[in-house]
Structure 1
């Protein structure tokens, strides 16, 4: 089956049927409406591709029903996720381990409230997806950070630094927020690194929240994701895995995610904390999630081919930019650019300077805990990516 990942879709001024324009004149997009029309936005992590046709068809059928009252998570959805886990990872997840909720970011905050006390330490590694850095402050806990080790050469990758974790941990540390695979660097962690991490978690008696949101977007041929709790069964009693179809199938706005917690005590604490704070499931999000897991694999494989091509184009282009380095992402559709030695390196925010000079909007590395860097989203059409790269060439090319 052929899928169209090439045709640009107007997300600023979508064309609506004439009978709808009076009631709904536009569908604002965070990604495309944050900046003026001349700006090309390659920042927030959603893609500019239509979701799988089968998902769209399932949503249309549910919308046609016309009643959108409070729903329940259907057993068929739980089974679909279990089947996906077995077929993709060989992990026999159980249906009762699943706790569906509106998103991964709320789940991070719930975990802090459920498993720590005010003043306890919540640890993460940087650079990291910005909400990780906000959980502790928002929940009255102490944020503790350890830095990854940056690439040593142009062919290197970001690596886990256990010594940095040991230096940051304290007797009040209770929770580790982990990203697997990693946002923003795109690392697919090696078994050796995860083995060190597992030993660290056990040694300090921590609970680990493993955000595995990008696990179905591994870009290297033959790569296979291994869930943290599967790789290290000894961690199962202290692990909350976070999963969602949102990144893989471009369904973020439908707010459907799942916490997978095999330990009944942890699961009960998490569920009790969620009461009154989290709404019931989005009926359309649940429909889309099930359709994606049951029918979306051909679309996902086609998407991966497109993302591999875009990654290759980006890596080649960055090689011609003076003072800019990039460790080729092994997963996700996100690239983590080091701009500190570039012509924009003296700017307080290279990302802001790039926006001003080129009209290309990237995510500012300072928000991830690493000023001088920027995150670029290449989950867009080849045409739009090329337009952005040509603009950046004018400022960054040797």
Structure 2
């Protein structure tokens, strides 16, 4: 078995980019935006080098080897057999759920999602003249769950679409078959289309299966747009390659129609990387998941000792969703940033009083960040708040 080095730091401060660029010139450790501080898999880097030996980079459609790698990867990892013509290639999943909002219903119709959630979920409906309707997930015995009665009560005859994030960003849930079955039944009874962002499906940390909601049965699949990408699992987001899986021909036509003149083709090198990742990235992914489990344990242990902070264990992703509401801090993201740790503020996710921590980084960096958080809280306690 090959070994992979997730411990050695890679200096990202010399390259322009969101994550480290936000705090340039400041002693702030960035644990916010959802990309990891790890090198991409060797299989992906090698595939990119081989492609660079060909000197022409013209317009390119998905080729059979890429399509086969994606289909085989989804069947292998998620027990879902899809067909080649179900695939619609995209530069990213954010484009995908904006397109879904345009393709479903009419201006003034409603799109439902649950909070907290990845912030573009909350802005996409208005981009297409749709109205956003939300209800919060409920935290019960350390587990984030659907408030089923509240969701049912929120729907109206104008609700046309359910936007689902699974595995969930930011709470880290992998929704189980019972939960997905309830959502599918809800969609059937209210005639809702489903747009399911499953970009973190390769990052399940616990011994649970990620089940694509469209894989439940053909009737669910016919009303579902599933969005996936290799970008989070294999840490290649800036290569811009994603895809929608849409089994229903009419829904697929509407989705493609909304792309015209707006959505570019995915990046050629991103498609090369995607094929390599799905075909040859499994061993690296297994090593990554083992490392992330250790980082998750470090985060949960540290947060448990921090006064006023609580974090439910994420079942997937490299993101910890931390409840700071009992810490007596008005702006927890600013508080920790002032202490030298850059976290995502919960407010854009629809849940103020929380922060999101990205633990996809070398363990020494994570330990330093957690130490800074602990010291800041301890200092605050000593000073009597």
1:288 to 269, 273, 276: 273
Alpha-carbon shift at residue 343 of structure 1 (Å): 4.2
1:364 maps onto 2:364 in alignment = no
Q: Does 1:234 align with 2:237?
A: no
Preserved CA contact (<8 Å) 1:198 1:232? no
Q: Within 2, Cα distance between the matches of 1:145 and 1:292?
A: 35
* 2:317 is the alignment partner of 1:316: no
* Aligned equivalent of 1:190: 176
Q: How far off its partner does 1:223 sit?
A: 2.1
TM score, norm. by length of structure 2? 0.96
Match of 2:9 in 1: 8
- Output one character per residue of 1:151-200: Cα deviation in whole Å (capped at 9) or x when no partner: 34xxx200011111112111111111101111100001122211211111
Shift of 1:140: 1.1
Counterpart of 2:145 in 1: which secondary structure? Answer: coil
Q: Do 1:328 and 1:335's aligned partners in 2 also have CA atoms closer than 8 Å?
A: yes
1:341 aligned counterpart, secondary structure? helix
Q: Which moved more, 1:331-340 or 1:169-178?
A: 169-178
| Corresponding position: 1:32 with 2:13 | no
1:151 aligns with 2:132: no
Distance 1:232 1:323 in 2: 44
Q: Which runs of 5+ in 1 are unaligned?
A: 14-26
Given candidates 241, 248, 257, the residue that maps to 2:242 is 257
Deviations 1:325-381 (A, max 9, x none): 00000000000000000142xx1x21112111x110100000100000000000000
Cα distance in 1 for partners of 2:156, 2:149 equals 13
Q: Is the 8 A contact 1:123 1:169 kept in 2?
A: yes
1:172 is matched with which residue: 154, 158, 171?
158
SS in 2 for 1:203: helix
2: CA distance between counterparts of 1:130 and 1:209?
A: 15
Matches within 5 A, 1:202-281: 202-220=188-206, 222-281=207-266
The answer for the alignment partner of 2:355 in structure 1 is 374
Whole-Å separation in 1 of the counterparts to 2:371 and 2:335: 16
Q: CA deviation at 1:61?
A: 1.6
Residue 149 of structure 2 corresponds to: 163
Q: Between 300-309 and 224-233, report the one with greater CA deviation.
A: 224-233
- Counterpart check, 1:353 vs 2:317: no
Inter-partner Cα distance in structure 1 for 2:175 and 2:211: 10
In the alignment, what sits opposite 2:39? 50
Task: Work out the CA distance in 2 between the residues paired with 1:175 and 1:144.
Answer: 10
Contact residue 343 and residue 396 of structure 1 kept, 8 A: no
Contact 2:109 2:159 in 1 (8 A): yes
CA RMSD of aligned residues (A): 1.1
2:95 counterpart of 1:106: yes
Give me the whole-angstrom Cα distance separating, in 2, the residues matched to 1:39 and 1:293. Answer: 34
CA distance in 2, matches of 1:334, 1:121: 29
